Homo-oligomer: A and B are copies of this chain.
Amino acid sequence: MTTPWKHRYAQRMERMGSSAIRELLKLTERPGLISFAGGLPAPELFPVKQFDEASRRVLAEHGSKALQYSTTEGYLPLRQYIVDKMAGYGIHASVENILITSGSQQGLDIIGKILINPGDKILTEKPTYLGALQAWNAYQADYVTVPTDDEGLCLDSLEDALCAGPKFMYVLPNFHNPGGFTLARERREALVRIADHYGCPIIEDDPYGELRFEGEHIPPLVVLDAQKLNGENHHFERGNVIYMSTFSKTLAPGLRLAWVVAPRGVIQRCVMAKQGMDLHTSSINQMIAYEVVKDGFLKEHVRLIRRVYRERRDVMLAAMERHFPPGVSWTRPQGGLFLWVRLPEGMDAAKVLERAIAQNVAFVPGVVFHPHGDGRNTMRLNFSNAQPEQIELGIARIGVALAQEMEQELAFA
């Protein structure tokens, strides 16, 4: 069937095509399949009762306001709540530094819109978050990548990458998606210093920071950056870091509620961009979320999430020890939702995925998290969205798929 639309699409669409792996991942929605592929929170932990009570209160007390248009910046009491929350992290911002976004994905899109010219280079970790690549491919960004190890981004490769003149660098310091690793404190301090020296701004994406199961909290880059300015925290406005976080992993992703913290001038640009993107984030969702969190509910709730996810991580790690063949290694995340697996050099995780799907289990091949298509021998496993018995069973099956694929490789070697 002919269509008059084919030749009309903008050039940027060439960077946003569908992929073979995306087609493969569609199969993971098959009922009965155990999926470690998504990045979904455990739905059984969603505070449904609190949402029910909160929405009744919001509709009874502020029904008209909740259903009406509202400001692009976001619901003021929620922004004030975030200011207080950020202060607990050591980020001394005011409401003018906070923009509510329709999920962190919109934060990434806004950042692309205000900062990226076509052909601009963006410095990312390798691997990096797929959603950032999806957002920024639309702005025709190019990428320079820096390798990572179990302590995050490798500093010895950083300066080479900075010499390529990237527009900004994008870093996920805590419980990396997909890598599972956490950027070590000394590396954070050095990173902030080097970024400043090269005049390269940092986008710090921190969706999982509150979900630490073990080990000590490490200050975010935005805090280290502000301290660097004069040893105190008062120079946020002159800072070099845009910080992002979200309610998706602590409260519920179905609301699409996240936030950006940045110097005022940056927020003003973000607001202009967002106005043309969706006018504002759902009024009622912002008001309900505020009603749920305002009296400290999250503090207790996050403890529950941590406990459950930690157990699932432990079950997954133990099962991997038992079922994965020699030559396969993996990260041991101190928090978050994801594990990262490295297969022997030359093995193709996409082929393992085909075998795994035949056994009703799925994961994401790591290649999709690599801007230049390398990392074919890596894979990402999510441990937050499956019950412990399912994790045990699924990992055993992936173990079989791995063994089969290795045997095949040996047969052809």
Chain A residues in contact with chain B, CB under 8 A? 1-6, 8-13, 16-18, 38-41, 43-44, 46, 48, 51-52, 55-56, 59-60, 63-70, 102-103, 105-106, 108-109, 113-118, 120, 131, 134-135, 137-139, 167-168, 199, 201, 237-238, 240, 248, 252-256, 263, 265-266, 269, 272-273, 275-285
Q: How far is the CA of A139 from the CA of B12 in the complex (A)?
A: 11
**Across-interface contacts of A266 in B (CB, < 8 A):** 5
From B48, B199, B240, contact of A67 by CB (8 A):
B48
From B5, B16, B69, B253, contact of A265 by CB (8 A):
B5
Q: How far is the CA of A118 from the CA of B10 in the complex (A)?
A: 9
* 15 additional contacts (CB under 8 A) given A9-B115, A256-B280: A3-B265, A5-B265, A9-B269, A10-B113, A10-B115, A46-B68, A51-B59, A52-B56, A66-B254, A102-B102, A102-B278, A105-B276, A106-B277, A135-B277, A253-B283
- Check B65 against A8 for contact (C-beta < 8 Å): no
Q: How far is the CA of A105 from the CA of B120 in the complex (A)?
A: 27
- Check B65 against A43 for contact (C-beta < 8 Å): yes
From B17, B66, B70, B109, contact of A277 by CB (8 A):
B109
- Check A253 against B59 for contact (C-beta < 8 Å): no
4 tightest A-B CB contacts, nearest first:
A48-B63, A254-B283, A67-B252, A43-B64
- Check A263 against B5 for contact (C-beta < 8 Å): yes
**Across-interface contacts of A51 in B (CB, < 8 A):** 59, 63, 67, 284
Q: How far is the CA of A345 from the CA of B50 in the complex (A)?
A: 59
From B48, B115, B237, contact of A3 by CB (8 A):
B237
Q: How far is the CA of A253 from the CA of B67 in the complex (A)?
A: 6
- Give the shortest distance, in Å, between A288 (CB) and chain B (any CB): 9
**Across-interface contacts of A17 in B (CB, < 8 A):** 272
- Check A201 against B263 for contact (C-beta < 8 Å): no
- Give the shortest distance, in Å, between A180 (CB) and chain B (any CB): 20
**Across-interface contacts of A5 in B (CB, < 8 A):** 201, 263, 265-266
**Given A48-B59, A276-B135, A285-B284, A117 contacting B11 (CB threshold 8 A):** yes
Q: How far is the CA of A3 from the CA of B267 in the complex (A)?
A: 13
From B67, B118, B238, B265, contact of A254 by CB (8 A):
B67
